[in-house]
Copies of this chain bind each other. A is one copy, B any other.
């Protein structure tokens, strides 16, 4: 466990190597995950999500710079949208962050949404633990908030920032259902644009209609000009304090642990089927019968389950 020893000392190259190792499920990845799990749990995880073009990267950039003033070690996991239609600023984002890359107290890692063995949420979760063990005090996960799989990624963040922009208009209605559950702080970014107040009112109205244990704060910001950044940092701190005093912090982490166990059970079950040559042969034969409508997939699935267990 040479790499993990280096990781514990804050070695960035060790972190990068370990993330690649678990991302690609290279030999020994489970051992790594077991080890880092036990050593992790100290970092505060902030999810940053919102529609394409809402300025998530710029906001993250500014928040990180602000937190760096107090000497905090920070990591950023930027989930690259390679799914259809999530829009474009992939290269821009990575370039913009380059000046942060020069800061030894900041670690940046991009993760693509394609080409993962296993789910991205699994890889992201693993990366969070590795960076946690490396000594990151804050870990930002930046992701375009489209589709269920992307929402999964920020689901286990301690605080999730929902970044909106003026002019969403009627779309607020459409996005309502999804927003409700995941935003802990709402940010109207680019609030120097027309319609910022209207968007704020719409978000506030939406929050009025929903039931929160603690009503999320709505902050106006122009991240590009460093406006509202202090307020966002404050709102994150407030939410952190709420989580801790209400006991929800530990409750949320228990939910995460439960999700992880269940995910592992599913992954392991698939392995038991697909990595067993005999089971695989059985699956192919059942597949043919199901495709020809001679058997239904339930009967086939249960047959295989009974045989794994046998």
Which residues of A are interface residues toward B (Cβ below 8 A)?
30, 33-35, 37-41, 49-52, 81-88, 90, 113-114, 145-151, 170-171, 173-175, 177-179, 182, 250, 253-254, 256-258, 260-266, 268-270, 273, 283-284, 286-288, 290-291, 293-294, 296-302, 304-305, 308-309
Contacts and interface: CB of A to CB of B under 8 A. Distances in A.
A257 B291 CA distance: 5
A171 B92 CA distance: 13
Q: Give the interface SS of chain A, mostly helix, strand, loop or mixed.
A: helix
21 contacts: A33-B298, A34-B298, A37-B298, A51-B84, A83-B146, A83-B147, A84-B177, A86-B146, A86-B174, A88-B174, A114-B178, A148-B149, A257-B291, A258-B287, A258-B290, A260-B301, A262-B270, A262-B273, A265-B269, A265-B301, A268-B305
Given A37-B298, A38-B296, A84-B178, 19 more contacts: A33-B296, A34-B299, A38-B294, A82-B174, A84-B146, A84-B151, A84-B175, A84-B177, A88-B170, A254-B291, A260-B290, A260-B297, A260-B301, A261-B286, A261-B300, A265-B273, A265-B301, A266-B266, A268-B305
Contacts of A146: 83-86, 146-147
B177 A114 contact: yes
